Structure 1
Amino acid sequence: MIIFVNPNFSLSPLSLTRSPSKTAHKIHSSIISSIISMTHKPRRRCDYYDLHKELIPYLEAWTWQKAIVKERKPLIEKQEDFSDTLIILQHQPVYTLGTGSSEEYLNFDVKNAPFDLYRTERGGEVTYHGPGQLVMYPIINLRYHKMDLHWYLRALEEVVIRVLSATFSIDASRVDGLTGVWVGMSCITLFFKTESVISLFFLFVYH
C-alpha cells in the first residue's frame, strides 16, 4: 500500500503514536542545543535535535518537520524568523518515492510491501531508510544565507566531505554533474523540497 503524505497534515510533532507534549519533553529536552551565530544580525540560532539513537517512524518525522515550517512561516512574514533547525535520527524500515519516481522501480508488489511505503513531496526516486542509516534533516531559511539552491547543495556536500574526513578519516568526493557525496561507488544521497524560502532537506549515511 502506498501512503501519500498530506502537505496539509496538522498533527503536532511525534503525535502519531505517542503524546507529543510528554514524549517531546522527555526525549528532546535534554538534547536540544542552540548554536548561536555571531555572523548575522539579529543573532540567528540552530535548534539541534540529536536523535541519532532513536528509531523514529517516517511519518512522525515528516509531520514534525511540516509543523516546524508551518510555525515559522508567519515569523518570516514579520521578519522575525531567526532560527534554523537540524534533526538527526534513524527511521524504522520504510520506502519513500519522490515526486518523479515510478512504482516500476520497486522490486515487490505494492499491495504486499515488506515495509511502509510513502509517496512524498521531495525529488528523486525510490529510497530505503532503516536502522543503521543516519538521516539528517536541515530546515533552513535561505534568505539569511544565500538564495541559491545550487549553492546550498554544494555547501551541504562540502560539510559532509569535511565531517567524513575529520571524524572518520573517510576520503569522500564529488562527481561532476551529479548531486551527492561519493565514497568509492557509494553515494551519500541529498534530496530536498522548498516551501517559499524555507528548504526542507535530507541527507543520509550508513554507519
Structure 2
Amino acid sequence: MNKKVNLLDLGQKDYKETWDYQELLFKQTLDIKIKNRREDAGLETPNHFLFVEHPHVFTLGKSGDLSNLLVDEKELESKGAKFYKINRGGDITYHGPGQIVGYPILDLDNFFTDIHKYLRLLEEMVVLTLADYGLKAERSEGETGVWLDVGTPFARKICAMGVRASRWVTMHGFALNVNSDLGYFDLMVPCGIKDKAVTSLNVELGMAKIDMNEVKQKLLHHFKILFDAEII
C-alpha cells in the first residue's frame, strides 16, 4: 500500500485544462490497476493531490439540474465566466479567484475502500482547518460539504465537494471559499440547495484577505493525519 501522495500546486489554471490533466492522472492509475489485475504485475499505484485556483467558472455534475444556473450564456460571458457539464457527482458549483480547489487523485486501495468515509474525511480536513481559525464548522445532514451555523436560519456553506471514483480511484474534490467574490454565487442555486447562504473565510473573520498558502498548509497538515499519508 503506497501512502505517498504527490503534491502539485498548479497556481491559477483554466478549468478545462485542469480537468484534462486530472483525467490523464486518473487514467494512468486505472491502467496500472488493470495491468496488475490482468498480469499480476504488482506495480505500485501513485496518489496525487492537486491545488489550483480557477478563473470564474460554473460546473454542473451528472445529477445536476441546469435550471440551477440562473443566467444565460451571454450573461456568463459578460461576467467573464465559463460553464461546463462534468462527470463528478453533485449539482452546480462555482469556482473562481480567491477559492482553494483541491483535487485528490488517490487509489483508495492504498488507504481504505469506502467512498462514504473518503468524503467524510475530506469534510473533516476542512472542519479542522477552519477550527484553526476559530470557526466552528460542521456537516449538514444529507448535504455534502462544510457549513457554518447548521440547523439555524443563518446556515451558510463555506466548502463544496463533489467526487468521481472508479475502481477505487478518485478525482475532482473540494472547493473552499477563502477570499472569494461571493457575488458570483448569486448567479446560481449553489449545489441545488435553495434558501441557504454561501460564505468565505475572509468574510467570517472580518478580514480583507487571508493568506491562501497558509490555508493550504493547514489543509495538508490535517489531510496527512486523517489519511495517514506522506506528502512528497
Q: Structure 1 pair 180/112, CA: closer, same or farther in 2 (3 Å)?
A: closer
Question: What is the CA-CA distance between 1:181 and the residue it aligns to?
Answer: 1.4
**For residue 66 of structure 2, what is the aligned residue in structure 1?**
103
Question: What is the CA-CA distance between 1:201 and the residue it aligns to?
Answer: 3.1
**1:74 aligned to 27, 31, 35, which one?**
31
**For residue 206 of structure 1, what is the aligned residue in structure 2?**
177
Q: What percent identity do the matched residue pairs reach?
A: 29
Question: What is the CA-CA distance between 1:157 and the residue it aligns to?
Answer: 1.3
**For residue 9 of structure 2, what is the aligned residue in structure 1?**
50
Does residue 61 in structure 1 map to residue 26 in structure 2? no
Tell me the distance in 2 between the aligned counterparts of 1:86 and 1:176.
27
Does residue 170 in structure 1 map to residue 135 in structure 2? yes
Structure showing the higher strand proportion among its residues: 1
Q: Which runs of 5+ in 1 are unaligned?
A: 1-39
**For residue 104 of structure 2, what is the aligned residue in structure 1?**
138
Matches within 5 A, 1:1-207: 40=1, 43-51=2-10, 54-77=11-34, 78=36, 79-110=42-73, 112-114=75-77, 115-166=81-132, 168-184=133-149, 185-187=155-157, 188-207=159-178
TM-score by length of 1: 0.72
Q: Number of residues paired by the alignment?
A: 163
Q: Which amino acid in the other structure matches residue 44 of structure 1?
A: K
Question: What is the CA-CA distance between 1:60 and the residue it aligns to?
Answer: 0.7
Bigger RCO (CA 8 Å, 6+ sep): 2
Tell me the distance in 2 between the aligned counterparts of 1:119 and 1:177.
23
| SS in structure 1 of the partner of residue 144 of structure 2 | coil
Q: Which runs of 5+ in 2 are unaligned?
A: 37-41, 150-154, 179-232
CA-atom RMSD in angstroms: 1.7
